[in-house]
Every structure is written in structure tokens, then in C-alpha cells.
Amino acid sequence: MSAAVGSPLRPAPAAHHRRTGRAGAVTLRCSKVAAALAAPVLDDLRLQCATPLPLLRHVAAAMAAGMRVGLAADGAGELKMIPSYVYSLPTGSETGLFYALDLGGTNFRVLRVQLGGKDRRVVDTESEQVSIPKEIMHGTTEELFDFIAARLSNFVAKEGGNFHLQEGRKREIGFTFSFPVKQTSIDSGILIKWTKGFSVSGTAGKDVVACLNAAMERQGLDMSVSALVNDTVGALAGAHYWDEDVMVAVILGTGTNACYIERTESIPKLQHLGLGTGNTIINTEWGAFSDGLPLTEFDRDMDAESINPGEQIFEKTISGMYLGEIVRRVLAKMAQESDLFGHSFSDKLAEPFVLRTPHLCAMQQDNSDHLGEVESILRDIIGVNQSSLAARRFILEVSDCVIKRGGRLAGAGIAGILQKMENDSKGLILGRRTVVAMDGGLYENYPQYRSYMVEAMAELLGPRDMEHIVVEHTKDGSGIGAALLAAANSKYAGAQLSA
């Protein structure tokens, strides 16, 4: 997953705003004149964020076309369409003790799961989360992986209760690694670059599985990595374990990504491997998609000031990292052009990323007559000490425009994946029950976003096909999914089936 990185904007030049009285203090209420002056900004936003059905159709078709281009050859299009090298999905017959390590940010998580086969499935799970010190995030490769292996060793030492390793077996672990890698097999992958605030020296160009295996060996930990997975791939595997109709997994959180089950014969760039017929999971890296997206001046300005201008446009339009910032930029323009929040301009409103997507969600759940929650967030987060009811309603309108566009575009992306699968399989996907597994805080916690996403899918697929589509939340699927993929790709897999 192309997760959003830390410090998403480069420092911008200091802006000069109109202020009266004490700096940052906003005390005047919105007048009818101010509302009238703010209205054109809102009208333009509505127009530029509009996602009518023809536009959604174009986005879905472009997504499907981009997938085909990416499957044809590496680097051929916007969508990387990265093979996961997962050819064996969990079936429920797996038995034994397996571990997972999830490294994707400033914390990492270790997990163990005892599998009991078809009858008992997941017997028990335990997990721990560990914070990574900043000096480790900016240290050397050995320092980082030794730190991880030491904490993993401590976790393994607490093994007991329902957890037991079968005699004669070595512990195996699934490694969820949510940084850009060029995967070369199910248990190897070369780091392309660190993101998310990491600047560990000496790792780029190295196999991260070999780095972890070496660190575990230095710790005297008898364990090896049997599956390297992206978090979206892990989410699909975890959901598929419980429901074999899961064909697509999407993460909508701080960042976003999607993966799906593809037929190996439909992947031209893998034909030299002689895989024959079968299935594998493809990681789309759909955050890089940009064809036909409805963008505003606020999107373009945010992108231009970002650390990766011109990249990850779909992610910047639909994911939780950016939605609040887009709304902040709209409100800043309204405040400057219309005195929406009085004759002063709040210092806080000029701060990039001060308004976050959870704030938008909290405001949109405010059903009170006076919109008290909106008023509190304006005061506490962006420094607007007094606001009129009219101003608070404007903020909800702006938020809804941005959230509606994001949710509907996400829905169009999912529909594009399903339509591509349907066309390639000659009608074998949409005519039967097909599950889309969803994970991530944005999807889980933002009901309006969720509704707009499903609404767009229904418009594109139509009532007959949508009847067969199940959109299902799979909380924290990527963690257990990595352990399940370690089990499915275990060197003892044959023994498990005969156990």
C-alpha cells in the first residue's frame, strides 16, 4: 500500500493574512454579507467535485484499462500491478502455531495464532504493539532489524497456554512490510526506498526478508519468514480464510490501496514463469491512478506543495490523510475572501494538516440544532473563537462535497476492478456472490463516506449485479492474514494437510 508518508507537505513560504486586533483572535460573527461572499467558493467547489454517473463510468473504465496495462509489463502505466507471488491462499485446513510481524509505521506489531484446521479454525491469538524509537528509525539496517528481532524474541518467550509448536518444526512468520519493495518471490523482496519518516541507512537495494532472518539468527531465535506480504494482500488473505467468496480487498485509511485475485493466465508479464492455470493476488497500488479525476484548485495546490508532486493523485483525492487538508484549504479561501469567520484570519487555519479527517467525521455526525460539535472543533482546532450558525453550515457543506467526491471515486475504483474481473472471466464474477473486504479507519468510522462509496458502486454496476456484491468490513485482517499466509506457504504445508 502506498501509505501516506510523514510531513506530507514541504514547508511553504509564510503567508500574509489580514488581521485585526490580537493575532489569531476571531471574535466577529458571520454576517449575511459574508455568507453571500462565501457562496461562490462553495458553488465552484460543488461544480468541480461533482461525480455524475458519466464521470464515474470513465473512472471505472480507466481503472480497468490501467490494470490491463500494468499487468502487461512492469512500468507500462500508472498502476504497478505488483504480483504478490501468493499462489496458495489459506483454506481453513491449516494447523499449528504461526507468527506475524506487521511493520508499516512508527509502531510495529507482533502476533501469534494457533490454527486448529477445518473444525477449530483459529484456536487463539495474542499480539503486542511496540513503538520504534526515532533514533532507530534513523539508524542503520542492523540496528532496526536487531531491535525488531529482540522484541520478537521477547514475545516468543512468553509463548504458552493454547500456543504450542509441533515437535520437529521451526517457527514460521508472515512479514507484513508496508514500504515500497520489489517482490521477487513469496519470501523475498528488495526495498526500493523508505517512506513514512524512516531513513534507515544501508537497507535500500537489500532483501528485507534476509535482513530480518539474519537479525533473528543473531538473537538466537529459531524462526524464519515464509511469507512477505503487503498489508492489503494480508487483508485479503485474512478475509478469504473465513469467506471463500472474498475476491477483492481494499484499505481506506490514512492511505489507500486495493488488491484482488487474478487468474495467472491473465498476467502477460508473468507468462515466462510458466505458471499455467491458477490464481494469485495482485497488488494494484491504485493510489497512483489519476485518469479523469475531478480535481479542484485546492487539490492542485496541495499536490504542488507535497513531497511527491504529480504522484499518488487518487490517494490524495480519496484517502484519510488528505481529505481534512482539502477542506482546510477551502475554508482558508472562504475566510480570506468573505470574512466568513469575522474580520480576522486565524493563524491555525493557515497551518497545513491542522484539520484532520476525523474532525470532518465528528462534525458530520453533529445533528444538533446549533451544531455545537462543529463550533467546538472550529474553536479548538482552527482557532475560530466565535462562529455563526450560517458559517457552521457552510463548513458542513464543504466537508460533504469533499467526502462525497472521495467516497464516490473509491466506489468507482472498486467497480472498475470488479468489471475488469467480470470481463476477463466472461461473466463469472458478477453473476454470483462476490465479497469485497474493506479495512481501514476511514471506511470503518466515517458512515457518510461509506454510504457514498456503496452508492457509486450500485450506480455503476446496476441493481442486478449489485445484488451479488457483498461489501464487508474485515477489521485488522492484515495482521492475522500474514500469519495465515505463512501457514498456507509453510514448508510443512503437506504435513498440515495430512495431520
Instruction: Give the CATH number, domain containing residue 344.
Output: 3.40.367.20
So what's the pLDDT on residue 7? Answer: 36
Q: With respect to residue 179, please indicate whether it lies within any of the assigned structural domains.
A: yes
Q: With respect to residue 491, please indicate whether it lies within any of the assigned structural domains.
A: no
Question: CA-based angle 283:456:469, to the nearest 5?
Answer: 65
CA distance 87 to 66: 23
The answer to whether 196 is a known catalytic residue is yes
Q: Looking at the structure, do residues 312 and 452 belong to the same domain, yes or no?
A: yes
Q: Looking at the structure, do residues 188 and 248 belong to the same domain, yes or no?
A: no
Q: With respect to residue 452, please indicate whether it lies within any of the assigned structural domains.
A: yes
Question: CA-based angle 257:259:262, to the nearest 5?
Answer: 160
- Weakly modelled stretches of the chain, pLDDT under 50: 1-30, 496-499
So what's the pLDDT on residue 421? Answer: 95
Q: Looking at the structure, do residues 108 and 250 belong to the same domain, yes or no?
A: no
CA-wise closest residue to 396 among 367, 426, 437? 367
Q: Looking at the structure, do residues 331 and 211 belong to the same domain, yes or no?
A: no
Q: With respect to residue 212, please indicate whether it lies within any of the assigned structural domains.
A: yes
So what's the pLDDT on residue 53? Answer: 98
Q: Looking at the structure, do residues 102 and 78 belong to the same domain, yes or no?
A: no
So what's the pLDDT on residue 456? Answer: 98
So what's the pLDDT on residue 32? Answer: 65
HSE, side-chain direction, 13 A CA sphere, residue 217: 9
Neighbours of 425 (CB within 10 A): 13
Q: With respect to residue 34, please indicate whether it lies within any of the assigned structural domains.
A: no
Instruction: Give the CATH number, domain containing residue 164.
Output: 3.30.420.40
- DSSP secondary structure of 111-180: EEEEEEHHHH-EEEEEEEEEEPPHHHHTSBHHHHHHHHHHHHHHHHHT--TT--PPTT--EEEEEEE-S-
Per-residue pLDDT of 138-195, as tens digits, reads 999 999 999 999 999 999 999 888 888 888 889 999 999 988 888 889 999 999 888 8
Q: With respect to residue 497, please indicate whether it lies within any of the assigned structural domains.
A: no
- Which residue range(s) make up the domain with 376? 42-82+242-475
CA distance 303 to 310: 7
Q: Looking at the structure, do residues 347 and 363 belong to the same domain, yes or no?
A: yes
So what's the pLDDT on residue 343? Answer: 66
Q: With respect to residue 374, please indicate whether it lies within any of the assigned structural domains.
A: yes
Q: With respect to residue 11, please indicate whether it lies within any of the assigned structural domains.
A: no
One of 102, 187, 231, 303 is an active-site residue; which one?
231
So what's the pLDDT on residue 209? Answer: 97
Q: Looking at the structure, do residues 437 and 359 belong to the same domain, yes or no?
A: yes
φ, ψ for residue 31, nearest 5 deg: -100, 170
The cell for 242 is 473465513
Number of domains forming the structure of the chain: 2
One of 44, 124, 182, 196 is an active-site residue; which one?
196
Q: Looking at the structure, do residues 330 and 459 belong to the same domain, yes or no?
A: yes
Q: Looking at the structure, do residues 215 and 114 belong to the same domain, yes or no?
A: yes
Q: Looking at the structure, do residues 274 and 413 belong to the same domain, yes or no?
A: yes
The answer to whether 420 is a known catalytic residue is no
So what's the pLDDT on residue 374? Answer: 96
CA distance 159 to 126: 9
